A and B are shown apart, each in its own frame.
Chain A
């Protein structure tokens, strides 16, 4: 039997005002990135509750990336600063729990940076693929 090629499962939380539009722009410009990235739209990167990220890992995600507006450019003035702090805490805790730093990332992508969005996703997917499957937080009860 042939081994199926390993495809990571990556959840991307994108701010509606910048990176979600950046992802749309990447689409408009037909910039390819792996289909392993699944985007969830949130009003602001600060809407992302650490709970969502834990849940994603628990349910078998291999990597989680959070995209927000560049510092100073938040549509809601200061949301991305909260994100930055919260995620610094969360990611170091995840690292302690054995979910490698390379599986988590916060990236600032503006609405004009379609190319950056695609490049970031390509890079992140390659990084997570290199690490392989995430088993650390996976909840076996969630497996069917």
Chain B
């Protein structure tokens, strides 16, 4: 997938408009996982906006985000960086081109402690 399409797809999937960002850095200021990250939330928004997504796909930062939504709550412009991070993560997963979870796998995963909702969302997430 080329650069531009990837950008459009991530924006469509996350429902986030990175153009709304006024580059105040409040997302990064509020991020509890900041020190673990190579690319920080404000950089995420900027890199998606400029289409510089390749480094993000290969970065560990993607998985350092706790999805705590502090950035979403505090962003004064309503940009919602955490949703963007999640959308980029999905791109990585879908890029791998295979189903990580098939309906056949599910019975083996079922046990009393696992909430059903978790399986449904995992199925949705890990299936192309």
- Direct A–B contact in the complex, CB atoms closer than 8 angstroms: no
Binding site for B on A (CB under 8 A): none
Binding site for A on B (CB under 8 A): none
